Amino acid sequence: MMWINITDKGGKFQFNACVCYLPPVDSTRNVDAQDFYDTVLSQIHTYGKTGLFFMCGDLNSRCADMEDFIPGVDDIIERDVIDYVSNAYGEILCDFLINSNCCILNGRNTKRNNYTYVSTRGSSVVDYCIVPYENVCRFTDFEVSTMSELMQNYNLFDSVDQCVSKPDHSLLAWNMCLDKLTKSHDENKSKETEVKKFDFSNIPSSFLDNRLRDIEDLILQLDMNMVNQDGINKLYGNFVDILKNEMNDCLDYKTVKLQDGQSNKKRRTKKPWWSDQLTVLWNKVCEAEKDMLKCKITSRKREFRSVFIMKRKNFDREAQRAKRHYWRNKVLRIDELESGNQREFWKEIGRIGVGQERRKLIPMEVQLQNGEITNDKDSVLSEWKNAFYDLLNANDDSNTPETSIDSQRIHEPDIECRGLHELNDEISIDEVQRAVRSLKMNKAVGVDEIPAELFKNVTVIPLLHKLFNKCFFHGNNSRDLG
């Protein structure tokens, strides 16, 4: 196996490519397939973390229609299978793909799929392109071109000795999108900014006491003839500045550093079974590899290599153990909830994504009123629509005196006018207070960066009352405020 790192001269993007070969099952070159894939897995942990990568080569592993991902857990498109024969290496390959979060590109995003190996015993797929789960959409137009097609398309029959047999392996080709990896030099420079994170759980009772005069001035400005949208926007901007200045003076806060827009919190891995122990083991593997690569003395390098291999195997073993332990606990948890809390049971099922498989099992068919079963999509949707319409809009033909009286009362003109008059009344301060009290706490702020906790202060209620009435009576809405 060989890894190749490709980086452009400007340093805008890079990716790694791996080429590997595994001898056939019945080959005289005795190779342990399990050790082979374990070695590839450790190399993926080492070289695959630097960015985009792919693997390709002759793996002699026929996996038929076996899954190369965990259904219901990994969101991967299905593979178009053309070879339904498997061998001893096929199952090992699928286990390796699941453990490395990779999948087979053959049969996915395909422009033309075909067998990759042709022999006297038949055709098979043994040459693969393997890509990570999260980057499978970047590899498109996968195509298999047989050697006979290539020789015919490029007129190679005359220039090739007919006594020499042509290769029996095909050519694999695909497109790889690097647009998202390309960054300018300015973007590559790390930008560190600092933001303040305020503590709104302990707002002092004297909040805004020193700003009463400023808020009263804003209320007086609202009472004047500033009814245009620009004037209200400017006034609300001044109100936001008052709140922010008071926050800086009265509230406790901590400074959070953002690196390229990302927080400096501890990085969490996407794998739910990952633990701090695996992080420590992985760091030891990286250190052992660095020591091995830096060593120039042959005798010492062998010693460092043996240490590196031992720590790498220890990490792989603990990672597999943590993964099995995690899913075993999941199964036990679901078994316990099945006979007890049904609500939590279905929530747990939804978290692991098993319910996604059921969508494929729901048939797109319906029985019409005449007894005929149809698979037409429009007919099925129409029947479902009519069924729910009849369910939620039951026809009641009973015309009792009470319903007639209610119907007449609804359309009486004086009641309609009285309702419109109440809707056009001024917004009362009690309505503003009820609306403010109903605001939920600990929610994300809007574009004005003012949390709901500050609007619950009694000092700002009169200003909000005036502001809402100005918008209501003069046709200005609050969507553009701030």
Name the band, by pLDDT with cuts 50, 70 and 90, for residue 259.
low
Name the band, by pLDDT with cuts 50, 70 and 90, for residue 188.
very low
Structure tokens at 344: 């939590």
Distance CA 178, CA 410 (A): 65
CA torsion sign for 316, 322, 327, 331 is positive
Name the band, by pLDDT with cuts 50, 70 and 90, for residue 77.
confident
For tokens 């009814």, the residue is 227
Give the residue extent of every domain in the chain.
2-181, 207-250+402-482, 276-359, 364-392
- Rounded mean pLDDT, 242-261: 80
Q: Is 192 helix (H, G, I), strand (E, B) or coil?
A: strand
- Taking CA 422 as the corner, what is the angle to CA 417 and CA 427, rounded to the nearest 5 degrees? 155
136 in Cβ contact with 101 (< 8 Å)? no
- Rounded mean pLDDT, 177-194: 58
Which range is least confidently modeled, 53-67, 147-161, 277-291, 441-455?
A: 147-161
The yes-or-no verdict on residue 356 having pLDDT over 80 is: no
With a CB cutoff of 8 Å and minimum separation 6, the contacts of 285 are: 42, 45, 308, 311, 312, 315
Determine the residue type at 150: L
For tokens 């096929």, the residue is 90
Q: What is the largest CA-CA distance in the chain?
A: 105
131 in Cβ contact with 105 (< 8 Å)? yes
- Rounded mean pLDDT, 345-361: 60
Residue 42 class from Cβ within 10 Å (0-12 exposed, 13-18 middle, 19+ buried)?
Answer: buried
> pTM, whole model, 2 decimals?
0.42
Q: Is 127 helix (H, G, I), strand (E, B) or coil?
A: strand
Distance CA 69, CA 74 (A): 6
The yes-or-no verdict on residue 19 having pLDDT over 90 is: yes
Distance CA 243, CA 130 (A): 55
With a CB cutoff of 8 Å and minimum separation 6, the contacts of 151 are: 157, 160, 166
Distance CA 175, CA 137 (A): 11
The yes-or-no verdict on residue 269 having pLDDT over 60 is: no
Which range is least confidently modeled, 7-16, 206-215, 241-250, 442-451?
A: 7-16
Which range is least confidently modeled, 52-61, 336-345, 406-415, 469-478?
A: 406-415
Name the band, by pLDDT with cuts 50, 70 and 90, for residue 426.
confident
The yes-or-no verdict on residue 400 having pLDDT over 60 is: no
What does each C-alpha distance from 464 to 223, 227, 449, 458, 471 come to in angstroms?
13, 15, 17, 10, 11
- Structure-model confidence comparison of residues 390 and 135, the more confident one: 135
The yes-or-no verdict on residue 104 having pLDDT over 90 is: yes
- Structure-model confidence comparison of residues 377 and 269, the more confident one: 377
170 in Cβ contact with 116 (< 8 Å)? yes
For tokens 């830096």, the residue is 294
Name the band, by pLDDT with cuts 50, 70 and 90, for residue 414.
low
Beta strand 139-145 with 110-112: parallel, antiparallel or unpaired?
parallel
Helix or strand holding residue 300 (H, E): helix 298-338
Distance CA 408, CA 398 (A): 16
The yes-or-no verdict on residue 415 having pLDDT over 60 is: no
- Nearest CA-CA partner of 190 in 98, 244, 128, 261: 261
What pairs with residue 3 in β-bridges?
Answer: 18
Distance CA 324, CA 128 (A): 27
Q: Would you say domain 2-181 falls under CATH 3.40.640.10?
A: no
Q: Is 55 helix (H, G, I), strand (E, B) or coil?
A: strand
Q: What pLDDT score does 355 carry?
A: 47
- Rounded mean pLDDT, 191-197: 74
Helix or strand holding residue 130 (H, E): strand 127-132
Name the band, by pLDDT with cuts 50, 70 and 90, for residue 420.
low
**Span 137-148, pLDDT tens digits:** 889 999 998 888
- Structure-model confidence comparison of residues 70 and 477, the more confident one: 70
What is the distance in angstroms between the CA of the first residue and the CA of the last residue of the chain?
59
Distance CA 222, CA 234 (A): 11
> What integer best gives the mean pLDDT of the chain?
79
Which range is least confidently modeled, 110-114, 239-243, 263-267, 277-281?
A: 263-267
